[in-house]
Structures are given as structure tokens and as C-alpha cells.
């Protein structure tokens, strides 16, 4: 597919916005989907909590396994709920250009420091930090959930289902913003939601440019894997500002922003929509 074909496809997407909203979801159904997501999470969480009561305190690995299973079941229930409302439901795992893989990884790495700085604008209370430390243990199930399950399932839901439908109902910018708001909201706390919103904008834009969930999965995995690695560092080294000092932190932040913007310009100019290779159908 040549660049002209790419422009034609993207023009078709934009033209869809002039039509009345017929695809799932629209804004109203995104709001309903959010509250259904909360319901599924609460129900699964209550069941998991009851089961956890019977697990001995020393068996932390089993509790981590339980959290892992509960998370997967919650997201799958949300995806299942949404898929039942989509005609000929499918998720685009379209092939992407090979050079995009390292470029997306570099772009995601460049986004980490700005996202971290955004998170610093709303400092997390110590009580909340302790809660997350208790909820997330440094074991195989927690790592797999953060680095593999979350990027895959959340990209399928937020980009492969929600954004795909929104792009048929609204202009691309509006659709990407709505999907990013949903992505931020399902994190259920403001300390993760604000960085997640801006990360969701990037991953939504990647989906729009490629019509594939694969770039978002790559970026999401890169960001989460970096966060997981930092959790194994000593507490003082997890705070980049403390670790680097103010002058070097500002320099590193500026370099990260410049690198991220440069990567976005490259993707904007060079990325094309590849022929459809794989569509996961439910």
C-alpha cells in the first residue's frame, strides 16, 4: 500500500465522522461501558477477596495469582460486553512496518519522563503508595500482569474496540481524546489517570495512523516494563528527580521531549497503513 492509499483510508475515516453515529461505541455508550467496567471489577474483586480470606498469609504467591486471574477475568468480561454490541466484532492486529517497532519503543521511552513529571504534579499520598506496594508484589504473576496482560488486554479494549468504533462516529481528534479519557478513568485513581490519559493519546494516535493495535501494545509494554524495572531499584533511585538532581533531571526531561516529538514526526511522515493481515474475531 502506497502513501496515497494511506491518505485515502484516513480520509475515509474522517468522512465517516460526517455521518450520524451508527457504530459502537458513541460517547453515551462509552460512559455506560465505563460503569459496566466498574461493576465487573467490583463483582470480580469481591469474589477474589472472599477467596483470598481462605489463603494463608504466608502464601503470597497464591494471592498474586488470584489478583492476576481476577484482573484478566475483569477485562475479558468488559471486552465481551462490548463485543456483543458490535456487528461483526473483530480486532485489528494488522501487520506494521518493521522499522516502526524500534521507533515506537524509542518514542515510548521518550514519553516516560514527561509522564513521570505529569504524575509529580499530583503527588501520591504515602497511604496510597503503601496500598499499591501491598497490592503489587515483585513476583512472576504481578510482573506478567503489568508487562504482558495489561498492555495486550487494555489495548484490545481501549484501542481495538472503543477507539475503532469512535473513529467511525467522530473526527479522529475527538475519538482519540474520548478513548484516552476512558483509558485513564478505568485506572480508578487520579495519580495513575493523569499520566494514563496522555499515554492514551499517544497510543490512540498510533492506532489511528496504523489501524492496528500492535503499535499500542508495543508502546504500552515498553512503558509498563520500564515501570516494573524501576520497582526493583532502591527507593531513592525510583525518584528520578532525587536520583539525577534538578539540573540533570531538567536536561533529561528536555532530551526526552525532543526525542518523543522527533519520533512522532517520523511516524507521521513515514508510517503507512499495511494490508490487513490478522483480525481477531470473537
Domain annotation covers residue 120: yes
Domain annotation covers residue 77: no
Residue range 211-268, pLDDT digits in tens: 999 999 999 999 999 988 877 776 665 677 777 777 888 898 999 999 999 999 999 9
Domain annotation covers residue 214: yes
For the entire predicted model, the pTM comes to 0.86
Q: Are 51 and 66 in contact (CB under 8 A)?
A: yes
Lowest mean pLDDT among 21-30, 71-80, 126-135, 217-226: 126-135
Inform me whether the pLDDT recorded for 16 exceeds 50.
no
CB contact set of 81 (below 8 Å; sequence gap of 6+): 33, 36, 40
3-state SS class at 250: helix
Domain annotation covers residue 11: yes
Structural domain count, the chain = 1
Domain that residue 218 falls in: 3-23+91-281
User: What is the chain's length?
Assistant: 282
Domain annotation covers residue 85: no
pLDDT of residue 111: 95
Residue range 141-165, pLDDT digits in tens: 989 999 999 999 999 999 999 999 9
Among 82, 78, 79, residue whose Cα is nearest residue 44: 78
Q: Are 153 and 69 in contact (CB under 8 A)?
A: no
Among 177, 184, 186, 169, residue whose Cα is nearest residue 205: 177
Kindly state the percentage of the chain with pLDDT values over 70: 84
Domain annotation covers residue 220: yes
Domain annotation covers residue 73: no
Domain annotation covers residue 48: no
Q: Which DSSP symbol is given to 75?
A: H
pLDDT of residue 19: 44
Amino acid at each position: 500500500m502506497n502513501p496515497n492509499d494511506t491518505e485515502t483510508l484516513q480520509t475515509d475515516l474522517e468522512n465517516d465522522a460526517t455521518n450520524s453515529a451508527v457504530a459502537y461505541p458513541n460517547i453515551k455508550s462509552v460512559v455506560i461501558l465505563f460503569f459496566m467496567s466498574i461493576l465487573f471489577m467490583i463483582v470480580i474483586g469481591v469474589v477474589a477477596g472472599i477467596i483470598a480470606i481462605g489463603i494463608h498469609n504466608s502464601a503470597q504467591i497464591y494471592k498474586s495469582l488470584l489478583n492476576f486471574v481476577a484482573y484478566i477475568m475483569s477485562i475479558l468480561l468488559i471486552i465481551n460486553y462490548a463485543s456483543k454490541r458490535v456487528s461483526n466484532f473483530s480486532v485489528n492486529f494488522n501487520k506494521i512496518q518493521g522499522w516502526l517497532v524500534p521507533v515506537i519503543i524509542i518514542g515510548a521511552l521518550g514519553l516516560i519522563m514527561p509522564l513521570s513529571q505529569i504524575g509529580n504534579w499530583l503527588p501520591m499520598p504515602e497511604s496510597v503508595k503503601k496500598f499499591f506496594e501491598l497490592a503489587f508484589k515483585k513476583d512472576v504473576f504481578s510482573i506478567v500482569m503489568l508487562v504482558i496482560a495489561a498492555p495486550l488486554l487494555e489495548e484490545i479494549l481501549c484501542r481495538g474496540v472503543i477507539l475503532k468504533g469512535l473513529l467511525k462516529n467522530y473526527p479522529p481528534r475527538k475519538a482519540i481524546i474520548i478513548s484516552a479519557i476512558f483509558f485513564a478513568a478505568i485506572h480508578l485513581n487520579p495519580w495513575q489517570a493523569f499520566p494514563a490519559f496522555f499515554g492514551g493519546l499517544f497510543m490512540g494516535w498510533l492506532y489511528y495512523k496504523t489501524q492496528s493495535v500492535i503499535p499500542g501494545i508495543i508502546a504500552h509494554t515498553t512503558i509498563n516494563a520500564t515501570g516494573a524495572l524501576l520497582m526493583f531499584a532502591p527507593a531513592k533511585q525510583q525518584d528520578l528527580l532525587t536520583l539525577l538532581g534538578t539540573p540533570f533531571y531538567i536536561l533529561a526531561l528536555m532530551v526526552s521531549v525532543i526525542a518523543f516529538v522527533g519520533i512522532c514526526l517520523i511516524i507521521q511522515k513515514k508510517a503507512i497503513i499495511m494490508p490487513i493481515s490478522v483480525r481477531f474475531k470473537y
